[in-house]
Amino acid sequence: MTISYLPAGPADDVLYELWEGEEEALAVAAAAGSRAAEWIRSLPGAPSPCPVGAWLAGELPKAIEAATSSLDPGDCDRMGLEGEMVDGTGGVDDGIRSSLTAVPCAVQDARWLTPDQQIRLVAVASLITGAVRLLAEDPGAAITTGELSRMWALVDHAVA
C-alpha cells in the first residue's frame, strides 16, 4: 500500500507537481509501447479468420499503445474524501487493463504462433500491467529510482 502525500479532495483541488524525470519517463513508456505494438502487428496472422487472430492483430496492439501513452502518475493510490483508500489506476482504464490481463489465456488459442512468440506476448502484457500498477502504487519511486525504465528495457528485450 502506498501512502500518498497529495491532499484529499476532488482531483480539481489537487495541485500536482511533476516528479523529477517524469516527462522523460512517460516518453520512454510511450515509445516502448509503440515498439511493442508494432512487433505484435508484425507477428504472423492466423491461417484462417478467428477471434483471437483478429484480437491479436487489432485490439491488443491498440491497448498496449493506449496503456503506455496514457500513464498518469497523478492517478495513484490515495485517500478518498471519506478517508477511505482509493486504488489508483495509473491512468489506464479498466478496458485496457482487461485486454492486457487476457493475454495469458488468449495466447493459448494462437496456435499458429511459436511458443517463443507466445511467451514474449505474455511477457509484454505482464510487464506493462506491472508497470501500470507500480506507477499507481508508488509513482515517485517508480520514476525517480529508474524502476519504470527497467521495465521498458525488459519490454524492448521481449520484442527484439
Q: What is the mean pLDDT of residues 11-16?
A: 57
Confidence (pLDDT) at 81: 87
Tell me: the pLDDT tens digits for 94-150?
A: 999 999 999 999 999 999 999 999 999 999 999 999 999 999 999 988 999 999 999
Radius of gyration of the chain (CA): 17
Confidence (pLDDT) at 3: 46
Confidence (pLDDT) at 14: 57
Residues of the chain with pLDDT > 70, as a percent, come to 90
Q: What is the mean pLDDT of residues 48-75?
A: 96
- Flag whether pLDDT at 56 surpasses 80: yes
Confidence (pLDDT) at 11: 52
CA distance 146 to 47: 41
Q: Which amino acid is at 92?
A: V
- Give the burial class of 138: count Cβ atoms within 10 A of its Cβ; 0-12 exposed, 13-18 middle, 19 or more buried: buried
> 83: phi > 0 → left, psi -120 to 50 → alpha, else beta; which?
left
DSSP per-residue codes, the chain: -----SPSS-GGGPPPPPPTTHHHHHHHHHHHHHHHHHHHHHSPPPSS--HHHHIIIIIHHHHHHHHHHS--TTS-SEE-TTS-EE---TT--HHHHHHHHTHHHHGGG-TTS-HHHHHHHHHHHHHHHHHHHHHHH-HHHHHHTSHHHHHHHHHHHHH-
Confidence (pLDDT) at 4: 45
- Flag whether pLDDT at 45 surpasses 80: yes
Give the global pTM.
0.86
